[in-house]
Amino acid sequence: MKRVCSVVFSLFVAVTSWGQTKPSAAAASTTPLNQPAPSAGLQDQPSPADANDLRMQRMLRLYGELKAMRSKLDEMKANAAKVNDPALKQQLQLENSCGQ
């Protein structure tokens, strides 16, 4: 059993050290050393800085939409206050309060 464990451990060490060796000269010429090679699964994903920019743009767009909705609601409330018919006025006030 001890011998099997030592063989497995030796293979593990050999495989991990083999994976950490320097790339060959042909591979080094295609990829600069200071830039990591893009992996196939990560090419479509934005970098963290780009993702943060996208979140900020979305937040600003939603904030603008919310501001427009609030101004439209205020306009609807002002129009409801001008109505003289009590039934229609109550209906408009109910519709305006559902939006809050």
Task: Answer whether 100's CB lies under 8 Å from 93's CB.
Answer: no
Q: How far apart are the first and last CA of the chain?
A: 72
> For the residues 16-43, what does the mean pLDDT come to?
58
Q: What is the pLDDT of residue 15?
A: 67
Structure confidence at residue 86 as a pLDDT band (50, 70, 90): confident
How many Å apart are CA 76 and CA 97, to the nearest integer? 10
Looking at residue 100, the DSSP 8-state letter turns out to be -
| Average pLDDT along the chain | 76
Residue 37, pLDDT > 60, answer no
Full-model pTM: 0.45
Q: What is the pLDDT of residue 60?
A: 96
Structure confidence at residue 26 as a pLDDT band (50, 70, 90): low
How many Å apart are CA 87 and CA 75, to the nearest integer? 19
Q: Where are the domains of the chain?
A: 71-100
Three-state secondary structure call for residue 38:
coil
